């Protein structure tokens, strides 16, 4: 992909405003992606996916899942939680878990596990590492998103252009994080907007 093509893709994915927000240090206050109602159609709900065997309740509340000693590339993930009517889901709960850089889940403690809440505009901000790989799966992040008093949406997020995506029966392009290049740390900055039914 040429730089011009990449830029067009990012703009089409609604990166211009969020990227500006990151550059100015204002990660909060992200505007809805243009896809959300801009063409007169309501966005479809984010597809659910299996939680897999490694979910653990009662994770600590924190927006940073970088652990002491982590040397893996950092990942900044931002976005919003919206309804299918494009309304922000203020205070939405986001419960995140993923494997470490070596592909291992912490099933005894809470490394790379945590929950956080969207702000009044539905915006969230998560700092973590790029998870590793384990046999049978492509690179992914597990997440459960829930409106206050709403039903939880359990799904998984994926990374574009991963060699193992096509061979993973769970992977969906619709669930890929959109990335933009960003100078400085974290090494990768991505965006994903969750759309909840109702």
CB of 156 to Fe ion, least distance (A): 7
Tell me, what DSSP letter sits at residue 177? P
| DSSP structural state of residue 101 | T
CA-wise closest residue to 189 among 102, 70, 73: 73
The piece of 9-17, 52-60, 80-88, 189-197 that touches Fe ion (CB under 5 A) is 52-60
CA–CA separation, 119 vs 148, rounded Å? 12
Pick the closer one to Fe ion by CB: 112 or 191: 112
C-alpha 100/C-alpha 131 separation (Å) is 5
DSSP codes of every residue in 35-96: TTTTTSSPPPPPPP----TT--SSPPB-SB---TT--SPEEEEEEEEEETTS-B-TT-EEEE
C-beta of 52 vs 152, nearer to Fe ion? 52
For Fe ion (CB under 5 A), the number of binding residues is: 1
Q: Nearest approach, Cβ of 74 to Fe ion (angstroms)?
A: 20
Binding mask 119-138 for Fe ion (x = CB under 5 A): --------------------
Supply the minimum distance, in Å, between the C-beta of residue 53 and Fe ion.
8
Tokens of 101: 């850089």
Least Å from the CB of residue 2 to Fe ion: 33
**Of 143, 116, 112, whose CA–CA distance to 129 is shortest?**
112
- Window of 14-22, 45-53, 76-84, 190-198 that interacts with Fe ion by CB under 5 A: 45-53
Nearer to Fe ion, 131 or 186 (CB): 131
Pick 48 or 52: Cβ nearer Fe ion? 52
Closer by beta carbon to Fe ion, 52 or else 132: 52
> For residues 37 and 52, which CB has a smaller minimum distance to Fe ion in the complex?
52
CB of 111 to Fe ion, least distance (A): 14
* CA 19 to mean position of chain CA atoms: 15
Q: Would strands 178-180 and 188-191 be described as parallel, antiparallel, or unpaired?
A: antiparallel
Distance of closest approach, residue 139 Cβ to Fe ion, in angstroms: 10
Q: Which residues bind Fe ion (CB under 5 A)?
A: 52
């Amino acid at each position: 992909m040429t730089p011009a093509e990449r830029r067009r893709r990012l703009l089409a994915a609604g990166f211009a405003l969020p990227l500006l927000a990151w550059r100015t240090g204002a990660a909060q206050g992200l505007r809805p992606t243009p896809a959300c109602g801009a063409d007169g159609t309501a966005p479809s709900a984010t597809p659910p996916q299996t939680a897999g065997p490694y979910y653990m309740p009662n994770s600590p509340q924190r927006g940073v899942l970088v652990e002491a000693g982590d040397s893996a590339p950092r990942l900044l993930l931002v976005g919003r939680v919206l309804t299918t009517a494009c309304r922000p889901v203020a205070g939405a709960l986001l419960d995140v878990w993923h494997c470490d850089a070596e592909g291992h889940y912490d099933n005894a403690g809470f490394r790379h596990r945590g929950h956080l809440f969207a702000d009044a505009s539905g915006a969230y901000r998560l700092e973590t590492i790029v998870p590793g790989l384990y046999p049978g799966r492509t690179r992914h992040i597990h997440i459960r998103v829930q409106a206050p008093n709403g039903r939880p949406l359990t799904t998984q997020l994926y990374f574009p252009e991963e060699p193992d995506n096509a061979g993973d029966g769970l992977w969906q392009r619709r669930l890929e994080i959109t990335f933009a290049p960003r100078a400085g740390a974290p090494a990768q900055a991505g965006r994903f907007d969750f759309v909840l039914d109702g």
